[in-house]
Structure 1
Amino acid sequence: MILLQVQNVARLFGSDVLFEKANMDVQENSRIALVGRNGVGKSTLIKMIMGIQTPDNGQITKNKNLTIGYLAQDNGLNSSNSIYDEMLTIFENLKTMEANLHSLENEIASFHNFDTSQQKYETLLNNYDQLLHNFREANGYGYESEIRAVLHGFKFYQQDYNTLINTLSGGQKTRLALAKLLLEKNDLLILDEPTNHLDIQTLSWLENYLQSYSGALLIISHDRYFLDKVANEIYELTPNGTEHYQGNYSFYIEEKNIRFQHEVKQFEKQQEKIEKLEDFVSRNIVRASTTKRAQSRRKQLEKINRIARPIGKQQGPHFHFSSNQQSGNIVLRVSDAFIGYNTKISGPINIDLRKQQMMAVVGSNGVGKSTLLKSILGKIPLLDGKYSFGANVKTGYYDQEFKNLHPNKSVLNELWDEHPTTAEKDIRSILGSFLFSGEDVKKTVHNLSGGEKARLLLTKLAFNHDNFLIFDEPTNHLDIDSKEVLETALLEFDGTVLFISHDRYFINKVATSVLEISEHGSQLYLGDYDYYIDKKEEQLLLAQENNQNELTVVKMAEKTDYQLNKDQQRKKRKLQREIVEIENQLENLSTQEEEIQKQMIIPDIYTNLEKSTELQTSLKTIQGKISVLEDSWEKKSMELEYLN
């Protein structure tokens, strides 16, 4: 069933067209990504769908009673409530139902004169049964576990629950706004750049959650890895309309190229036909013996519906990085470094970076990734340890906060003032390769968009010709085309790169190694992002096996300790059996949950409303059982720990 339709929608500014002929069908359980160049109007189209703006042409139709959850870019949650109380407001209806259930229970329990009021008693029982059924169907016994699970996914823990929302940072408020939207379970969830304030671990959690989301999804994101995991339809918005692709982002890239090549062949084939007809006409129109045939060919020419010349990628930035001199083989060494501002954030950190290597630095938000780069650059002192650069190392630094730019300078002077002996035409030439041309070079830096500032900072780096480039989140403000250009430039760079990024697609494309830092130190992985994830999973499985072996040893030791009280031993064994039984049940339920989630993403199933609804009901039931068992496991584990 179609939930929403966009039909020939346009946004015009007088005679100028931002976009036109935009079309989109959003079905139940759709997983749609809306992509396109920065400034083409993706967010504008979303605002039209939400009714915030009105289309200049075309129409948008929605199903009656359609519920939509919408997260705008960097739109945080504003509330005077605490974190947990705000999440509870979503379930006011369940709290009311719960109160009514208790009221009916009390009324039934106090019913004494059954013989004289049998009908009233049966009515009470029927009302109670119906309300209890509705309460269970709405996850009445599991909604608080669901709240805790979602908050945990966004890294809000029990000690944070009473924190007032108006005391949180902007990024935390954005994460809470997304958490609340997920818990609301709207028919359609529209997310405009939802990954902006999420670290890699939270992104992975969100991807898994959205894959089993019961409603439809419409997402704008520059995170290509995220789109690969979540989307199975792509709509590309261009000034001339929308192109639809049935697949994830990687499929879209391949299919787009295939379509372009096909269009080129069709165009060339038609041009060849036109040239032959025109040649025949020009050679034969004046000859009496062939003029009729020439006139016939001319009519054929007039009837041809001419194919426009296919246009490949729109003009984007084109640049490369190169170094003026080669560094020594050793570029950077960091030994047992502890980083932080007065107090330790993380350490010990060790780095041995060699020439032409490209190392990605990953880790949770707040663990000190940017602090590490600033410490290496001497902007912040190390709390302990040391670092050193190799011979002939010349560093260039990309600061995600753009502090390397002067807000009151023009674009032209931002570059020219650092290279005053360079001719203005050469300065303008390199600015042009980064899409600053004409009057753009006179813009003041503080009036630039985030994407323009990012391109200006990249311009400065390219012009300096350093042999060691250090990047702090270089892709944050770049559109997808610009990211691809940056990837190519780095892959062709003859120097060394150290960078922080949450863009897993970018890490996969560029990195030769991944350095994970945590509060306990650093761990090096000699491969790209997917290799890093695979190794992390292997380490986790190995740790679980070791823990199980240690638990077995502990149990054997306990059996030989005859000094313990027999009653205590008996109670411990009973608890251990119960915990093992719960763990077995949890394992079985988790397997069932995973199997249902796999089925739910099969096209033949998620497009079948009956099957999809049946699976969603089963999933809710299983998740409720898991929540109850997890609570029981925690209580029994704490009791066992106390006995130990």
Structure 2
Amino acid sequence: MILLQANQIARLFGDEVLFENMQLEVQDRSRIALVGRNGAGKSTLLKILAGIEEPDKGTISKTKDLTMGYLDQHTGLESTKTIWEEMLTVFEPIQKMEKRLRQLESQIADEQIQADEKRYQQVLVEYDRLQHEFNDLNGYGYESEIKSVLHGFRFEEDYLDHLISNLSGGQKTRLALAKLLLEKPDLLILDEPTNHLDIETLSWLENYLKNYRGALLMVSHDRYFLDKIVEEVYEISRRKMSHYKGNYSRYLDQKAERLEREWKEYEKQQVEISKLEDFVARNLVRASTTKRAQSRRKQLEKMDRIERPQGDEKSAHFLFGIERQSGREVLEVEDAAVGYNQTVLCEPIDFQIRKQEAIALVGPNGVGKSTLLKSIIGDIPFVKGKSKVGHHVSIGYYDQEQANLNSQQSVLEELWSEHRTTSEKDIRTVLGSFLFSGEDVKKTIPLLSGGEKARVALAKLSMNRDNFLILDEPTNHLDIDSKEVLENALIDYEGTLLFVSHDRYFINRIATSVLELSETGGKLYHGNYDYYLEKKLEEEQLKELLNEETDEVVEVKTETKKNFELDKQKQKEKRTLERQVEQLEKELHEMEEAIESIQKEMELPANLEDHEALQKLNETLTSSFKQQEDLLNQWEEVSLALEEF
């Protein structure tokens, strides 16, 4: 069933067209993504579809009694109530029904009403009807439903009596989404729902939305999220709309296939046009061929000419260079604790970063990821412990809040003020690569969108040519195309990276290691995001296995008293584990020697000057670290199993 249709929708600003002829259809179980560059009009179109704004042209038709929920990317839940009280307002009709049921139960027990057979039957009929309706509306489980959704958004039960007015902006946004999910509208319209969500919450939301009973229409720049949720994509590009079936990855494939097909059709027609025009030019003035030439000319005039296919819109294109090479050891954080005013968010944190590594920081919101970055650059002191920066290391820092941008300056002045000896032409060239051209460079910082501010901050970073980049949520505010440009620039970067991101696709492409922060400290995984997930799954499975084995061992110990043969088998298993531990310790020792040998070889002057040789050695070293990590994990597993004996 069609819930909503948009017909020939347009948004105009005077003579300027933001978009026009928008056609969109939402079915009762649709899973739709709206994609396009920043500034293409995605959020504006969502507001028109949600009924918040009126279109300049076109109509919106929808089914009778359609319920819609809309989440603005910049809006949080405002309320004077506590979290629990506000969520309960969603279920006020059920609460009134529950109150009426209690009243009817009291009447059923009333002897006077029982004596009046007609009245008594009326009460029983109403009670039976309400009870069925109450049950259908999950009247007996709505409180559990509230707690489940709030838990998914990381609001635990002991936090539910907090006043919403005292919460952070990110928490209010999460609550606004939680309330929308509890309301269960027929059509859920979400503008950047993944903002302010950590990776664990993102995974929970994905699973929830996959099973959502209504229709979904959303804007998101998270590719993992879109691939898991959506089944069709509407793209706004060059003020027009195109429709594709499938998830985001399938949309990219279809878009490329369509463009290739359009080029072939265009080029085929151009060859035909060229032949016809050539025939007309050569034969029109000749008496014997004039009629045929005139026929060809009429054929040309009647031809429905294919427009030249337009490829992707203009993209940013930039690189991060370095002024000079750093030493091999870039950063060491030792026995550190991070937090504010002696309140510890995470400890202990111990890790090293070597040249050309790229480490992603992951963990739940509030665990101290951004705080750790600020402690490393000296903005916030460590609660305890320290960090040590290596030789010839120059740090470039990207702040997710763009607090280092001067609100009094224009885009041009923002870069020029830090590079006075650089010509205006060169500054404009740099800004042009970040999509600032012409009069755009004269805009003041406060007038810029979030995406534009992000591009200014990245432009400043590229000009500094630092060899160690520390990035706090660099993909925030960037559209998917800009993210891909940033990813490619960082992949080609010859320096070292330490970054925080909730974008799983971005982490997977960039990271060589993942550092997970939790309340119990930091743990390093040598590999990309997929590897990190695999190891986390193995750890969970091992934990479950060890718990099962613990129970089994207790049972075996009891039985051993009765059965000597079982005791012999147990001793045999113990000896096997002891031999495995011994072998793994031998392999670990050999691996440590191999790693030390590679590191010494990398320090040789001949290799330091040979980039290709150094790169190969670094790849070998990275592989060795991964093997060492695998051996350590195996040793821990076997040692834990041995301890049970």
Question: Which bin holds the TM-score, normalised by the shorter protein?
Answer: 0.7 to 0.9
* Residue in 2 that maps onto 1:205: 204
Correspondence list, 1:505-584, <5 A: 505-551=505-551
When residues 298 and 95 of structure 1 are mapped into structure 2, their CA distance, relative to the original with a 3 A threshold, is same
Deviation (angstroms), 1:365 = 0.7
* Residue in 2 that maps onto 1:499: 499
When residues 555 and 80 of structure 1 are mapped into structure 2, their CA distance, relative to the original with a 3 A threshold, is farther
Find the aligned partners of 1:552 and 1:137 in 2 and give their Cα distance: 44
- Residue-by-residue CA offset, 1:4-38 (whole Å, 9 max, x unaligned): 00011001122211000111100001111111111
Moved more, 123-132 or 245-254: 123-132
When residues 255 and 113 of structure 1 are mapped into structure 2, their CA distance, relative to the original with a 3 A threshold, is closer
One-letter identity of the residue aligned with 2:386: K
1:425 equivalent to 2:462? Answer no
Secondary structure (helix, strand or coil) at the match of 1:80 reads coil
* Residue in 2 that maps onto 1:625: none
Correspondence list, 1:316-355, <5 A: 316-341=315-340, 342-355=342-355
In the alignment, is the contact (CA less than 8 A) between 2:357 and 2:497 conserved in 1?
yes
* Residue in 2 that maps onto 1:80: 80
* Residue in 2 that maps onto 1:380: 380
- Residue-by-residue CA offset, 1:338-376 (whole Å, 9 max, x unaligned): 112222211211222222221111111111111111111
- Residue-by-residue CA offset, 1:37-92 (whole Å, 9 max, x unaligned): 11111111111112222111111111110000111112111111111111111111
- Residue-by-residue CA offset, 1:158-194 (whole Å, 9 max, x unaligned): 1112111112111111111111100001101111111
* Residue in 1 that maps onto 2:172: 173
One-letter identity of the residue aligned with 1:57: K
Find the aligned partners of 1:113 and 1:390 in 2 and give their Cα distance: 87
In the alignment, is the contact (CA less than 8 A) between 2:315 and 2:482 conserved in 1?
yes
Secondary structure (helix, strand or coil) at the match of 1:517 reads strand
* Residue in 2 that maps onto 1:462: 462
One-letter identity of the residue aligned with 1:320: L
In the alignment, is the contact (CA less than 8 A) between 1:317 and 1:482 conserved in 2?
yes
Runs in 1 of length 4+ with deviation above 6 angstroms? Answer: 554-560
What number of residue pairs does the alignment pair up?
560
* Residue in 1 that maps onto 2:472: 472
Find the aligned partners of 1:355 and 1:283 in 2 and give their Cα distance: 68
- Residue-by-residue CA offset, 1:88-137 (whole Å, 9 max, x unaligned): 111111112212222222222334786x7544444433322222111111
Correspondence list, 1:118-133, <5 A: 118-133=117-132
Correspondence list, 1:252-267, <5 A: 252-267=251-266
TM-score relative to the length of structure 1:
0.84
* Residue in 1 that maps onto 2:155: 156
1:310 equivalent to 2:309? Answer yes
When residues 556 and 147 of structure 1 are mapped into structure 2, their CA distance, relative to the original with a 3 A threshold, is farther
* Residue in 1 that maps onto 2:407: 407
* Residue in 2 that maps onto 1:71: 71
When residues 91 and 556 of structure 1 are mapped into structure 2, their CA distance, relative to the original with a 3 A threshold, is farther
Find the aligned partners of 2:427 and 2:409 in 1 and give their Cα distance: 15
When residues 557 and 88 of structure 1 are mapped into structure 2, their CA distance, relative to the original with a 3 A threshold, is farther
Secondary structure (helix, strand or coil) at the match of 1:392 reads coil
Structure 1, unmatched stretches of 5+, are 561-644
- Residue-by-residue CA offset, 1:248-295 (whole Å, 9 max, x unaligned): 111111111111111111111111111111111111111222221111
Find the aligned partners of 2:151 and 2:199 in 1 and give their Cα distance: 15
One-letter identity of the residue aligned with 2:432: G
In the alignment, is the contact (CA less than 8 A) between 1:23 and 1:241 conserved in 2?
no
In the alignment, is the contact (CA less than 8 A) between 2:407 and 2:444 conserved in 1?
yes
In the alignment, is the contact (CA less than 8 A) between 1:360 and 1:515 conserved in 2?
yes
- Residue-by-residue CA offset, 1:423-471 (whole Å, 9 max, x unaligned): 2111111111111111222222232221111111111111111121111
Deviation (angstroms), 1:330 = 2.2
In the alignment, is the contact (CA less than 8 A) between 2:359 and 2:497 conserved in 1?
yes
When residues 557 and 147 of structure 1 are mapped into structure 2, their CA distance, relative to the original with a 3 A threshold, is farther
* Residue in 2 that maps onto 1:636: none
Find the aligned partners of 2:281 and 2:21 in 1 and give their Cα distance: 39
One-letter identity of the residue aligned with 1:491: I
One-letter identity of the residue aligned with 2:156: Y
1:55 equivalent to 2:55? Answer yes
Moved more, 398-407 or 540-549: 540-549
Find the aligned partners of 1:431 and 1:176 in 2 and give their Cα distance: 38
Deviation (angstroms), 1:410 = 1.9
Find the aligned partners of 1:531 and 1:119 in 2 and give their Cα distance: 71
* Residue in 2 that maps onto 1:238: 237
* Residue in 1 that maps onto 2:274: 275
* Residue in 2 that maps onto 1:609: none
Deviation (angstroms), 1:558 = 10
* Residue in 1 that maps onto 2:568: none
One-letter identity of the residue aligned with 1:285: L
Deviation (angstroms), 1:497 = 1.2
One-letter identity of the residue aligned with 1:232: E
* Residue in 1 that maps onto 2:485: 485
When residues 191 and 121 of structure 1 are mapped into structure 2, their CA distance, relative to the original with a 3 A threshold, is same
Deviation (angstroms), 1:522 = 1.0
Find the aligned partners of 2:283 and 2:357 in 1 and give their Cα distance: 66
Find the aligned partners of 2:104 and 2:36 in 1 and give their Cα distance: 56
- Residue-by-residue CA offset, 1:229-266 (whole Å, 9 max, x unaligned): 11111111124321111111111111111111111111
Deviation (angstroms), 1:315 = 0.8
When residues 124 and 446 of structure 1 are mapped into structure 2, their CA distance, relative to the original with a 3 A threshold, is closer
Find the aligned partners of 2:556 and 2:120 in 1 and give their Cα distance: 57
Deviation (angstroms), 1:559 = 11
| Aligned CA-pair RMSD | 2.0
* Residue in 2 that maps onto 1:92: 92
- Residue-by-residue CA offset, 1:203-222 (whole Å, 9 max, x unaligned): 11111111111110111111
Deviation (angstroms), 1:402 = 1.2
